[in-house]
Structure 1
Amino acid sequence: MTTTPVLRTERLTIRDWSTDDAEAALGIYGAQEVARWLTPEMRVVTDVEAMRSVLAAWVEAQPNLVPPAGRWAVVRESDGALIGGLSLRLLPPFEEDFELNWQLDPRAWGHGYATEAGRALVGWAFEQGVEELFAVARPKNARAIATARRLGMEWVGETEKYYNTRLQVFRIRPSQRGA
C-alpha cells in the first residue's frame, strides 16, 4: 500500500485530514460558492458536527483506498490556515479513471493556491505510476476550467458518463507536466 507523504510547495502543505479540521473545513465545504459545484454525492455541509462526521469518514476510508486515491487538506504555510481540500479518486461509474479535484475556501480564491497544490499532487500521482489524471467541471464552472488549464490539462470533450451530469473533461499525462 502506498502511503501519502506530506507534500510541500513554496507556500502550501498538503496533508491528511483530521477531525480537528472540522471548523476550517466547514468554511470550504459549507460555503455556497463551493457547494454549488460539488459532485452530487457530496452535499453542502451545514454545521461543524456534520463536517466532523464527513472528515471522520474520510480519515477512516483513507487507508483502504486504491493508491494513489485519497483526500487531503491544503494548509497555507504563512499562517497555518487550512484553506482547501484536494482529492484523487476513481470516477464513477466504472472506477477506471482517476479524477483530481480541488476545493478552496472562497477567501483564498485568486492566489493560485489550487494550481500550486494541484501541481504537487499531480506530480506525486505520476510518481506512483498513474498514467493519466482527469478533472471534470460543470460547463459554467469557469474557475475550475481555468485551474484545469493552468495545471496543463487538455480539454478532451464533454460527457454525461460521470455523475450523470453534463461535464467538461480535462486530462493530463506525465508527458504534459509543466506544459
Structure 2
Amino acid sequence: MMREAPVINTPRLRLRPHRMDDMEAFWAFYQTSRAVFIGAPKDRTHLFYGLSSEVVAWDWMGHGAWAIDTAEGDFIGQVAITQPPHFPEREIGWTLFEQAEGKGYATEAATAALGWAWEQGFDTLVSYITPENTRSRALAERLGAALDPEAPLPEGETAEETVVYRHSPDIDGSPEAYA
C-alpha cells in the first residue's frame, strides 16, 4: 500500500495529499509571472511528472508535498519537503497562489510542515532560493532560518543563482519554537 502525505490541520489551513485536480491550478500558476523563480514545466505532461514525483516521494522517501487548502476548502498552494536527486539536502519549499498572498498562509503552512519534520526527527532542512526572490527569503527568515553560505548547492547551480537558508529546531530539539 502506498504511503501518502499525512493530513495536518492548522487554525486556518489543511495540509493534505495532492489530488489529480490540483494540476489545473498549478498549470494556471505556471502561466503567470509569479512563477518566475520556479522552474516551470514545459507542458502539462512535465507538470504531471513533477507533481507525481512529489506525491510518490512519500512512499519512497517518507516525505514529500502537501496541498494547502483554506478552512473553507479553497486550494491555495503547496508546501513540500523534498530531495530530488540533484539536491544535496532535504529542502522545504513553498508555492502560494496569488489570491492567497499577504494573509500569512505561507508562514502557517511552512510552520506546520517544519513542526512535522522536527517531530519525525529531522535535524535540519534547507530552502534553496533565488537571490532576487525577496518574498521567499523574507518567509525563510520569519521561519527562523539563517543564511548558510557554506551549504552545498543543488547540482549545476551557482551562488549567483541560489542562496541557502538553513532551518533547525530550537536548541533542545523541540518543535515548539515553530508552533
Structure-1-length-normalised TM-score: 0.80
How far apart, in 2, do the equivalents of 1:28 and 1:15 lie? 19
Q: CA deviation at 1:33?
A: 1.2
Task: Map 1:54-65 to 2 at 5 A.
Answer: 54-59=50-55, 61-65=56-60
Q: CA deviation at 1:118?
A: 0.1
Is the CA contact 1:158–1:168 (under 8 Å) kept in the aligned structure 2?
A: no
Query: Is the counterpart of residue 14 in structure 1 residue 15 in structure 2?
Result: yes
Q: CA RMSD in A?
A: 2.7
Q: Which amino acid aligns with 1:145?
A: R
Give unmatched runs, 5+ long, in structure 1.
none
Query: Is the counterpart of residue 169 in structure 1 residue 164 in structure 2?
Result: yes
How far apart, in 2, do the equivalents of 1:109 and 1:94 lie? 27
Paired positions, count: 170
How far apart, in 2, do the equivalents of 1:15 and 1:4 lie? 6
Q: CA deviation at 1:20?
A: 1.8
Is the CA contact 1:102–1:114 (under 8 Å) kept in the aligned structure 2?
A: yes
State the identity %. Answer: 32
How far apart, in 2, do the equivalents of 1:30 and 1:137 lie? 20
Q: CA deviation at 1:136?
A: 1.5
Q: Which amino acid aligns with 1:110?
A: G
How far apart, in 2, do the equivalents of 1:169 and 1:91 lie? 16
Query: Is the counterpart of residue 112 in structure 1 residue 104 in structure 2?
Result: yes
Q: Which amino acid aligns with 1:173?
A: S
Is the CA contact 2:128–2:165 (under 8 Å) kept in the aligned structure 1?
A: yes
Q: Which amino acid aligns with 1:37?
A: F
- 1:43 aligns with 40
Q: Which amino acid aligns with 2:117?
A: A
Larger mean CA deviation between 14-23 and 159-168 belongs to: 159-168
- 1:76 aligns with 70
Structure-2-length-normalised TM-score: 0.80
Q: Which amino acid aligns with 1:62?
A: A
Q: Judging changes above 3 Å, is the alpha-carbon distance between structure 1 residues 104 and 45 closer, same or farther for their aligned structure 2 residues?
A: farther
Runs of 4+ in 1 over 6 A off after TM superposition: none
Task: Map 1:117-132 to 2 at 5 A.
Answer: 117-132=109-124
Structure number with higher strand proportion: 1
Give unmatched runs, 5+ long, in structure 2.
172-176
Q: CA deviation at 1:106?
A: 1.8
